[in-house]
Chains A and B, each alone.
Chain A
Amino acid sequence: MTDALVLEDVRKSYGNREAVHGISLTVHEGEIFGLIGHNGAGKTTTLRMISTLLEITSGSISVYGHDVAKEPEAVREIISYLPEDAGAYKDMTGRAYLEFIARFFASGKEKDEMVAKGIALADLGERIDSKVDTYSKGMMRRLLIARAIMPSPKLAIMDEVTSGLDVINAYEIREIIRDIAKSGVTVVMSSHNMFEVDMLCDRVGLIDQGNLVLLGTPAELKEQFGVDTLEEVFVKAVKGA
Chain B
Amino acid sequence: MSDITNVIRKELKELLTPGSVISVLIMVVLFAGLGGLIGGEVEKAQALPVFGIANGEYGDITLEDGSEWSAADYLTRLYSGVPEDEIGDYIKIIDIEGVTDFYELMTSNGINSLVIIDRSFSENVLYNLYTASSVTDLKPVVIQEYYLYEPSGMFGSISSSTVSAVVSGMSSDLSGFLIKSCIAPEKVYQFLANPITHGGDDLHTIVNGEPHPGVTPQDIASQISSQTMMIPMIIMIIIMMVGSIVISSMGSEKENKTLETLLTLPIKRTSIVSGKIIAAAIVGLVYGLAYMAGMSIYMNAMMGPTSSGIDLEALGLGLDMMDWALIALSMFLAIICALGICMILGAFAKNYKSAQTMTMPLSILAMVPMFVIMFSGWYGSGTVIQAVTFAIPFSHPMMAMQSLMYGDYMLVFSGIAYMAIFALVMILITVKLYNSDILITGLGQNKTVQKLTGRK
A86 to B265, CA, bound (A): 14
- Take A87-B258, A91-B14, A103-B6 as given contacts and tell me if A79 and B447 are in contact as well, using a CB distance cutoff of 8 Å: no
Point out the residues of chain A lying under 8 angstroms from B437, CB to CB. Answer: 14, 54-55
A16 pairs with B447, CB closer than 8 A: yes
Point out the residues of chain A lying under 8 angstroms from B17, CB to CB. Answer: 91
- Take A86-B261, A87-B256, A87-B257 as given contacts and tell me if A53 and B266 are in contact as well, using a CB distance cutoff of 8 Å: no
A124 to B451, CA, bound (A): 49
The answer to the question of A83 belonging to the interface, with a C-beta cut-off of 8 Å to chain B, is yes
A14 pairs with B258, CB closer than 8 A: no
- Take A15-B450, A85-B257, A86-B258 as given contacts and tell me if A100 and B266 are in contact as well, using a CB distance cutoff of 8 Å: no
The A99-115 residues at the B interface (CB cut-off 8 A) are 100-101, 103-105, 107
B264 pairs with A86, CB closer than 8 A: no
A53 to B440, CA, bound (A): 7
Least CB separation from A79: chain B residue: B264
Least CB separation from B455: chain A residue: A15
Least CB separation from A96: chain B residue: B13
B261 pairs with A81, CB closer than 8 A: yes
Q: Which of B3, B260, B441 contacts A104 (CB 8 A)?
A: B3
A54 pairs with B440, CB closer than 8 A: yes
A14 to B260, CA, bound (A): 18
Q: Which of A16, A48, A87, A107 contacts B1 (CB 8 A)?
A: A107
A86 pairs with B456, CB closer than 8 A: no
A76 pairs with B264, CB closer than 8 A: yes
The B407-456 residues at the A interface (CB cut-off 8 A) are 436-437, 440-441, 445-447, 449-451, 456
The answer to the question of B10 belonging to the interface, with a C-beta cut-off of 8 Å to chain A, is yes
- Take A15-B446, A17-B456, A48-B440 as given contacts and tell me if A89 and B258 are in contact as well, using a CB distance cutoff of 8 Å: yes
Point out the residues of chain A lying under 8 angstroms from B260, CB to CB. Answer: 48, 53, 81, 83, 86
A104 pairs with B264, CB closer than 8 A: no
Point out the residues of chain A lying under 8 angstroms from B14, CB to CB. Answer: 89, 91
Point out the residues of chain B lying under 8 angstroms from A52, CB to CB. Answer: 263-264
User: How many of chain B's residues have a CB under 8 angstroms from any CB in A?
Assistant: 30
A104 pairs with B440, CB closer than 8 A: no
A104 to B14, CA, bound (A): 18
Point out the residues of chain B lying under 8 angstroms from A17, CB to CB. Answer: 456
B3 pairs with A15, CB closer than 8 A: no
Report the minimum CB–CB distance from A77 to chain B (whole Å).
5
A236 to B400, CA, bound (A): 72
B265 pairs with A54, CB closer than 8 A: no
B10 pairs with A105, CB closer than 8 A: no
A55 pairs with B436, CB closer than 8 A: yes
The answer to the question of B203 belonging to the interface, with a C-beta cut-off of 8 Å to chain A, is no
Report the minimum CB–CB distance from A119 to chain B (whole Å).
18
Least CB separation from B253: chain A residue: A89
The answer to the question of A7 belonging to the interface, with a C-beta cut-off of 8 Å to chain B, is no
Least CB separation from A82: chain B residue: B261
B10 pairs with A73, CB closer than 8 A: no
Report the minimum CB–CB distance from B269 to chain A (whole Å).
9
Q: Which of B257, B268, B441, B446 contacts A83 (CB 8 A)?
A: B257
Least CB separation from B257: chain A residue: A86
The A1-29 residues at the B interface (CB cut-off 8 A) are 14-17
Report the minimum CB–CB distance from B171 to chain A (whole Å).
70
B263 pairs with A16, CB closer than 8 A: no
A83 to B257, CA, bound (A): 8
A101 pairs with B445, CB closer than 8 A: no
- Take A83-B257, A89-B256 as given contacts and tell me if A100 and B10 are in contact as well, using a CB distance cutoff of 8 Å: yes
The answer to the question of A51 belonging to the interface, with a C-beta cut-off of 8 Å to chain B, is yes
A51 to B259, CA, bound (A): 13
A83 pairs with B445, CB closer than 8 A: no
The answer to the question of B206 belonging to the interface, with a C-beta cut-off of 8 Å to chain A, is no
The answer to the question of B267 belonging to the interface, with a C-beta cut-off of 8 Å to chain A, is yes
Least CB separation from A78: chain B residue: B266
Point out the residues of chain B lying under 8 angstroms from A91, CB to CB. Answer: 13-14, 17
Q: Which of A15, A53, A103, A105 contacts B456 (CB 8 A)?
A: A15
Contact digits for A32-52, partner B, Cβ 8 Å, 1 yes 0 no: 000000000000000010011
Contact digits for A114-129, partner B, Cβ 8 Å, 1 yes 0 no: 0000000000000000
The answer to the question of A182 belonging to the interface, with a C-beta cut-off of 8 Å to chain B, is no
Point out the residues of chain B lying under 8 angstroms from A105, CB to CB. Answer: 266
A226 to B94, CA, bound (A): 116
Q: Which of B13, B268, B451 contacts A92 (CB 8 A)?
A: B13
The answer to the question of A237 belonging to the interface, with a C-beta cut-off of 8 Å to chain B, is no
- Residue among B14, B257, B264, B445 with the most chain A CB within 10 A? B264
4 closest residue pairs by CB, A with B? A87-B256, A15-B450, A14-B445, A81-B264
Q: Can you give 11 contacting A-B residue pairs, CB < 8 Å?
A: A14-B437, A15-B447, A15-B450, A53-B260, A54-B441, A76-B266, A79-B264, A86-B261, A87-B256, A103-B3, A103-B6
Q: Which residues of B does A touch, CB under 8 Å?
A: 1, 3, 6, 9-10, 13-14, 17, 256-258, 260-261, 263-268, 436-437, 440-441, 445-447, 449-451, 456
Q: Which residues of A does B touch, CB under 8 Å?
A: 14-17, 48, 51-55, 73, 76-77, 79-83, 85-92, 96, 100-101, 103-105, 107, 147
